[in-house]
Structure 1
Amino acid sequence: MLCFAVIGFGSGGLVRRLGLHRSAVALLVLVAAGLVVRSLLEDTPLFLAATVFTLAGAAVGNVILPPLAWAMVACFGAQSAAAYAQFGWYPEILTDDGAGAGWLGVLVSPSSVPLLWSVLLGLGGGSSLLTQGLGYLVAGLGPFGVGALHDATGSWTAPLVALIASSAVIAAAGDVVSRPRMLEDTLR
């Protein structure tokens, strides 16, 4: 917490001196170097010092990246959750056939034109350290959530409705991500 407070407070000055791109590279190098050094040490004081370097890099990133990055996390995470749920459960849905354009088509008539539904679901996809890291954590909820909903309800309806609803998250976050502005503009 101290690293985030002390180092994060000075991040604005670093960005003004180095620029956003050089600052981002510096923080990534700092985090990577700190992690490598930490893995090689057995001495507690040196391990803690390397931890400070690692957290310093994370603190800078935590300050300079959030405005756009969180929208990117939401968009990437929701899109990936739907994609991984598709990869994991689409064959089962088709096999069960007790179950369109995209998920709606699968909900209404899964086996009528599976190639079309597969293409449309793929087109709904599309896609950085923060975005992918947290995005994949969110994405991991997709297949698990779809399976849990299916097990709880005994039907594909609730999981498919949840995946259709995830489109609203993708649309809202995608709107923020696609606005005509640069990340640097959000730091002023």
Structure 2
Amino acid sequence: MSETRKQGAGRPAAVPLALWAAVAAVVLAGLNLRAGATSVGPVLAELQAGLGMDSAQAGVLTALPGLTFAVVGSVAVLLARRAGSNLTITVGLAVVAAGLLLRSMVDSTVLFLLLTVLAFAGMAVGNILVPAFIKRHGGARIALLNSVYGTTLALSATLPLLIVAPLAASGEDGWQLSLRVWGLAAAVAVLPWALVSFQGRRSAGRAGVADAGAGPGRRRRGRAHISSSRTPVALCVYFGVQSMHAYVQFGWAAQIYRDAGLTQSQAGLAVAVLAALGIPGGLIMPSLVARARGLGFYITGLAACTAAGYLGLLLAPTQAPWLWAVLLGLGGFAFPTALALLTARSRDPQITAELSGFCQPVGYLLAAAGPFAIGALHQATGSWTAPLIILIAASAVMAAAGIAAAAPRFVDDQLAPAPAR
């Protein structure tokens, strides 16, 4: 049996979308799953002044993306089972739009934080379910859609870093405008996604198959829980450690550079270079995951780049700051690699959704805890030496987990019930 036929075995019928519709849906979703979170950092000081937010509350605000993505992401699959994946993503985008728009209009710190949680909850749903959408509607275009998704996520994280500051400088309430624009962007995505959801349900009904817009059904009786399979566990660790690296870098790399002697603008530019490399990473890695016969070399190389970047920051941070930023950015190719493995190591869209719902919440918990732990260690030791050594060691853990996760086997096979004797 060919590999293509093997991968299709047991997969539920799906009603394909036109390529343009699938790409548009993925782009509209991806553009709204990061911008609402990264748009806060550049105007945090103005936001604190405008709302009277103290440092402790600002610290809570910076931890909310990882925590909310983890908590709400863990129940996204359950929501999709009731309402359908496409409809759940649509509602999630509406929640993102409402949360981001309303928080830009309030003058209460508590309300601002609560509405931020609401917006991040909608993003968390998309984080989990968009990979399942790609698996269900991708067909032979899965690598393309994964590339589109990874690149769009990188753009969503990077664009606010370029746009927010000029918007915030436009007037007295500029910081509110700079936050409101991302709510408007999410609102624009709701109607097209509602049409995708409606089309999927109508087409599935005509074809007499299970609703193509529906989320994964109930777990088959007798099938093992996903946590009992070695590939999901390895992918969970890989996703988690690479997420921790990313959030540590976005949170602390600029300060490491500044403590070493770089100016604020030089440090900011170095981190911008690091973040911008996520765009080519999103383009390259999904196709590589889909086509390469073995991924161990690439996964090890990405982890080595990460370790080398940290080593440069430890030993010679000001001698070649751009080189260390580029190395860390190349190591960040691990993120689109992890996303692509969610679809590459599963056949059934239901399994893809369960795999995503298992791996991503753990990843975002580490993403929330990592920057806090690294910052606490720096404060306790008064130096970046111990934190950077720990991060170098974590790069080795990331490599080992990635090699295990990328082994050419399918989670579906590992979860299948044992045949009756």
The reply to whether TM is greater than 0.5 is: yes
Shift of residue 29, structure 1, vs aligned partner: 3.0
| Equivalent position of 1:102 in the other structure | 309
In structure 2, the CA distance between the partners of 1:155 and 1:64, relative to structure 1 (3 Å rule), is same
RMSD: 3.1
Q: Is the 8 A contact 1:20 1:184 kept in 2?
A: no
Could you tell me the percent identity over the aligned residues? 48
Which residue, 367, 381, 388 being the options, matches 1:153? 381
In structure 2, the CA distance between the partners of 1:57 and 1:157, relative to structure 1 (3 Å rule), is farther
In structure 2, the CA distance between the partners of 1:63 and 1:135, relative to structure 1 (3 Å rule), is farther
In structure 2, the CA distance between the partners of 1:59 and 1:151, relative to structure 1 (3 Å rule), is farther
In structure 2, the CA distance between the partners of 1:57 and 1:143, relative to structure 1 (3 Å rule), is farther
Within a 5 Å distance, the mapping from 1:16-31 to structure 2 comes to 19=10, 29-30=80-81
Shift of residue 135, structure 1, vs aligned partner: 0.8
Does residue 65 in structure 1 map to residue 223 in structure 2? no
Does residue 115 in structure 1 map to residue 322 in structure 2? yes
| Equivalent position of 2:413 in the other structure | 185
In structure 2, the CA distance between the partners of 1:183 and 1:19, relative to structure 1 (3 Å rule), is same
CA distance in 1: counterparts of 2:376 and 2:308, whole angstroms = 24
| Equivalent position of 2:39 in the other structure | none
| Equivalent position of 2:237 in the other structure | 74
Tell me the amino acid that sits aligned with residue 174 of structure 1: G
Q: Is the 8 A contact 1:27 1:58 kept in 2?
A: no
| Equivalent position of 1:3 in the other structure | none
| Equivalent position of 1:138 in the other structure | 366
Aligned length: 146
In structure 2, the CA distance between the partners of 1:143 and 1:21, relative to structure 1 (3 Å rule), is farther
| Equivalent position of 1:53 in the other structure | none
CA distance in 2: counterparts of 1:21 and 1:151, whole angstroms = 53
Tell me the amino acid that sits aligned with residue 314 of structure 2: L
| Equivalent position of 1:173 in the other structure | 401
Does residue 164 in structure 1 map to residue 385 in structure 2? no
Does residue 88 in structure 1 map to residue 251 in structure 2? yes
Shift of residue 30, structure 1, vs aligned partner: 2.1
CA distance in 1: counterparts of 2:256 and 2:382, whole angstroms = 12
CA distance in 2: counterparts of 1:172 and 1:32, whole angstroms = 38
Q: Deviation digits for residues 33-55 of structure 1, max 9, x if unmatched?
A: 7xx9xxxxxxxxxxxxxxxxxxx
Q: Is the 8 A contact 1:103 1:163 kept in 2?
A: yes
Shift of residue 21, structure 1, vs aligned partner: 6.3
CA distance in 2: counterparts of 1:183 and 1:28, whole angstroms = 22
In structure 2, the CA distance between the partners of 1:164 and 1:58, relative to structure 1 (3 Å rule), is farther
Q: Deviation digits for residues 134-188 of structure 1, max 9, x if unmatched?
A: 1111121211111010011010001101111111210111011110111122124
Q: Is the 8 A contact 1:64 1:187 kept in 2?
A: yes
